[in-house]
Structure formats: C-alpha cells, structure tokens
C-alpha cells in the first residue's frame, strides 16, 4: 500500500528530510512526501514544491494511512521541542522512519519511530537508535552505540564504539565522541569538538578536548 508522508517542519531541517523522501520515492514509488505541517507558515505556502497543509495539531485530520516525521531539531531548544512533539499524542505506528537509500545501516540495528538517517550515514552493528533521532549526512554511529530519543547527530559527526547520546542531546557537525563516553540529556557539543570525557546533562561544551562553556535552559526558549 502507498505510504504518504507528512513532514512536521519547514525551511531548514524540513527541506533536508524532504529531499531524502524524494530520493526514496525515486527508488520506491510507494513512499512519497505529501506536504508539511507547520505552526507559523500560512496554509498553502509551498516549501520545496509541497504545500503547508495545516498546524501540527492537524495531524488528526490526515488519513489513517499517512505517516509523519518531525524535522524540528534545534540546537539548545530540544527540551521544549521534544515536549511539543510528544504532546501531540501521535501513536508510535503513525511515525515514519526515513533512511536515505545510500545510508548503510547494519542488519541488527534497532531504529525507533520517527527517526531520520541522512545520505551516506553509517550505523555500525549493535547500535541502538531511539525515536525522533536525526542523523545527518555522512555521520558515523559506532558499534554498540546508543542514541536516545530526540538526539541529533550533525553532518560527518562520529560516535566511536559504545558511545552514548542521551535524550535530546546534540552533536555538532564533524564532532567526535570517544569510545564509551556519554553526552548527557539536552547537552550540546559544538562543531568540530572532540569529547574525551563524559558530559553531564544540559552542558554546552566545545573544543579539542571539549570543555564546558555553558548550560542549556531547562525548557529551552521559544519554538
């Protein structure tokens, strides 16, 4: 049966995921992008050629066959955004998992509902990916690594073996986490940083080796 996918988001993260769904459609016509749900753009606005169909709450008005994916990751704002997505009450079986055809995902990897895996990303054996995770182009998730719900792995970032990213944490582009190290809940690792020690919850760190430079707000700010 054909699966129409509706994207929660818009310009920014949304167009990245939209492009992947179009690439999937090119090899599997049963999956296609129908449009966007977005809380601020006028209904009917075109985003990469697809219309804004309604607000996030309008997911209830879509047909039962429609699946959703949220492209709403934003650095330092994941506490609020994860809460917003969870508050919609969408059942797990209505979320789409979207993996680019060029991504290499080991056979035994568990991938959660609503998770996105971009072009040329590699997910090694034994890794676990939770729900609503975003793994960007060229990222490498090491063997037996754990990526919890709402975590974000930037382009070309690397988790070495058994590294852990807790709920809502953010790994910037080209950053690396050493084997077995953990990034705490809602923490942010700056681009090109090298994490050599565990990072506590809600910490912003950067550099090589990564050092704490700040904290993320408890509920984030704005949406």
Ligand X SMILES: CC(C)(COP(=O)(O)OP(=O)(O)OC[C@H]1O[C@@H](n2cnc3c(N)ncnc32)[C@H](O)[C@@H]1OP(=O)(O)O)[C@@H](O)C(=O)NCCC(=O)NCCS
Binding site for ligand X (CB under 6 A): 75, 154-155, 172-173, 188, 190-193, 204, 206-207
End-to-end CA distance of the chain: 35
- Tell me the residue length of the chain: 223
Report the distance separating Cα 222 and Cα 95, nearest Å.
25
Q: How far is the CB of 146 from ligand X (least distance, A)?
A: 20
Closest by CA position to 93, among listed 71, 66, 118, 56: 66
Q: Output 52 or 78, the one with its CB closest to ligand X.
A: 78
Q: Output 6 or 8, the one with its CB closest to ligand X.
A: 8
Nearest residue to ligand X, by Cβ distance, number only: 190
Query: Beta strand pairing status for 188-189 and 203-206?
Result: parallel
Q: How far is the CB of 154 from ligand X (least distance, A)?
A: 4
Report yes or no: 188 and 216 within 8 Å, Cβ to Cβ: yes
Q: Output 31 or 74, the one with its CB closest to ligand X.
A: 74
Q: Output 51 or 173, the one with its CB closest to ligand X.
A: 173
Q: How far is the CB of 171 from ligand X (least distance, A)?
A: 8
Q: Which residue has the tokens 């966007």?
A: 36
Instruction: Please give the angle made by the CA atoms of 181, 184 and 188, to the nearest 5 degrees.
Output: 100
Q: Output 52 or 139, the one with its CB closest to ligand X.
A: 139
Report the distance separating Cα 111 and Cα 115, nearest Å.
7
Q: How far is the CB of 217 from ligand X (least distance, A)?
A: 12
Q: How far is the CB of 157 from ligand X (least distance, A)?
A: 9
């Amino acid at each position: 049966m054909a699966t129409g996918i509706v994207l929660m988001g818009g310009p920014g993260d949304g167009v990245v995921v939209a492009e992947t769904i179009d690439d999937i459609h090119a090899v599997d016509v049963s999956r296609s992008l129908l449009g966007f749900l977005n809380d601020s753009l006028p209904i009917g606005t075109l985003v990469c050629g697809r219309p804004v169909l309604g607000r996030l709450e309008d997911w209830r008005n879509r047909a039962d066959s429609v699946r959703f994916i949220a492209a709403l990751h934003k650095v330092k704002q994941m506490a609020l955004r994860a809460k917003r997505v969870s508050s919609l009450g969408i059942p797990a079986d209505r979320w789409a998992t979207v993996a680019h055809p060029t991504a290499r995902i080991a056979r035994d990897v568990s991938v959660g509902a609503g998770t996105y895996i971009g072009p040329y990303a590699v997910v090694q054996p034994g890794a676990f990916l939770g729900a609503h995770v975003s793994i960007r182009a060229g990222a490498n998730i090491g063997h037996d690594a754990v990526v919890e719900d709402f975590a974000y792995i930037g382009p070309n970032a690397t988790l070495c073996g058994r590294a852990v990213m807790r709920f809502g944490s953010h790994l910037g582009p080209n950053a690396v986490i050493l084997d077995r190290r953990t990034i705490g809940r809602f923490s942010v690792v700056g681009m090109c940083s090298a994490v050599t020690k565990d990072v506590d919850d809600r910490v912003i760190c950067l550099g090589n080796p990564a050092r704490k430079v700040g904290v993320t707000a408890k509920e984030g700010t704005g949406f």
